[in-house]
């Protein structure tokens, strides 16, 4: 299956932070969840992909084209929602339509206003009167209204109530139905990603810890809970990380079936993405 986004050995140094050889691929028709705690490097990586930040090392290709050399040919087919960049607050959604139809060849005013109606957003109120959730809906409507092939989304559902989040997730799933479009979705709401992501890429302290299918992580990985006497019997090579709690040990294992057979553990808890993040970051090897 063809890659719609390729990131290879992306590196960027700051005074107190560094991206270190970030590499991952996103295929057509897929949703990739991009996870990590605050400050891990998610937004920096996204801004490098969009060529917002400069002077980084590595190679980034979108639709098979270099994101620096072919920016004009790429820009039209990307829809973007960033957590800290949007239109001036004095504008209205109606104003945004006027601006965007002059700057995007494929801008679809009918589709844009349909999203505004679906999201119950007032068309002629200034953005400064909008709540955070309303602003997010407006950003999503704007990102989708020029028929992009790739959506790059940084915390697109933050500030939305559960019903609105479900509406947005349904829209994202519809977006990839033709198997030609893809989504890179950075989010702290890992339960959303468990429902819609095909792949999970996990970044911590500027490094990729893993990039795997969501099914592989949730079906094969697991959490073993045991007391210290049982923990001491487990070989280090048979687990990824562990965390010692007040009354028990929590152990992250890569293949729960093999682990269960080897150590005759009756029950291994199903993994969540939140569990994965906590144990990978806070756990000990």
pTM of the model: 0.93
Q: Among 91-95, 150-154, 164-168, which stretch is predicted with the lowest mean pLDDT?
A: 164-168
Give yes or no for residue 85 having a pLDDT over 70: no
The percentage of residues in the chain with a pLDDT greater than 90, rounded to a whole number, is 73
Task: List the Cα angle 230/234/239 in 5-degree steps.
Answer: 125
Identify the pLDDT of residue 71: 75
Q: Which two tokens stand for residue 258?
A: 């093999």
C-beta neighbour count of 11 within 10 angstroms: 14
The distance from CA 85 to its chain's CA centroid, rounded to whole angstroms, is: 17
DSSP character string of 156-176: TTTT--HHHHHHHHHHHHHHT
The confidence band for 148, taking pLDDT boundaries of 50, 70 and 90, is: very high
Tell me the pairing of strands 199-204 and 207-213.
Answer: antiparallel
Architecture of domain 3-213: 3-Layer(aba) Sandwich (3.40)
Give the mean pLDDT of the chain: 92
The confidence band for 60, taking pLDDT boundaries of 50, 70 and 90, is: very high
Query: Where do the domains of the chain lie?
Result: 3-213, 221-282
The percentage of residues in the chain with a pLDDT greater than 70, rounded to a whole number, is 99
| Cα dihedral: 267, 268, 271, 277 (round 10) | 130
Which H/E stretch holds residue 6? strand 3-13
Give yes or no for residue 57 having a pLDDT over 90: yes
């Amino acid at each position: 299956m063809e890659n719609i986004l390729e990131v290879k050995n992306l590196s960027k140094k700051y005074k107190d932070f560094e991206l270190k050889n970030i590499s991952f691929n996103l295929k057509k028709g897929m949703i990739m969840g991009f996870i990590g705690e605050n400050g891990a490097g998610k937004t920096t990586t996204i801004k490098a992909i969009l060529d917002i930040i400069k002077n980084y090392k590595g190679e980034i290709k979108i639709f098979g084209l270099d994101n620096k050399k072919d920016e004009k040919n790429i820009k039209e087919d990307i829809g973007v929602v960033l957590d800290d960049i949007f239109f001036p607050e004095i504008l209205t959604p109606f104003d945004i339509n006027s601006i965007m139809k002059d700057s995007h060849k494929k801008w679809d005013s009918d589709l844009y206003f349909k999203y505004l109606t679906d999201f119950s957003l007032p068309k002629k109120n200034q953005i400064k009167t909008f709540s955070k959730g309303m602003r997010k809906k407006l950003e999503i409507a704007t990102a989708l209204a020029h028929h992009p092939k790739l959506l790059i989304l940084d915390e697109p559902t933050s500030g939305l109530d559960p019903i609105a989040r479900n509406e947005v997730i349904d829209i994202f799933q519809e977006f990839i139905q033709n198997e030609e479009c893809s989504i890179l979705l950075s989010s702290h709401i890992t339960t959303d990603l468990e429902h819609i992501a095909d792949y999970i890429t996990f970044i911590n302290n500027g490094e990729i810890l893993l990039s795997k299918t969501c099914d592989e992580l949730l079906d094969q990985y697991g959490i073993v809970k045991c007391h210290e006497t049982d923990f001491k019997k487990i070989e280090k090579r048979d687990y990824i990380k562990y965390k010692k709690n007040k009354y028990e040990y929590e152990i992250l294992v890569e293949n729960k079936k093999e682990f269960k057979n080897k150590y005759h553990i009756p029950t291994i808890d199903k993994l969540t993405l939140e569990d994965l993040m906590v144990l990978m970051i806070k756990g000990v090897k």
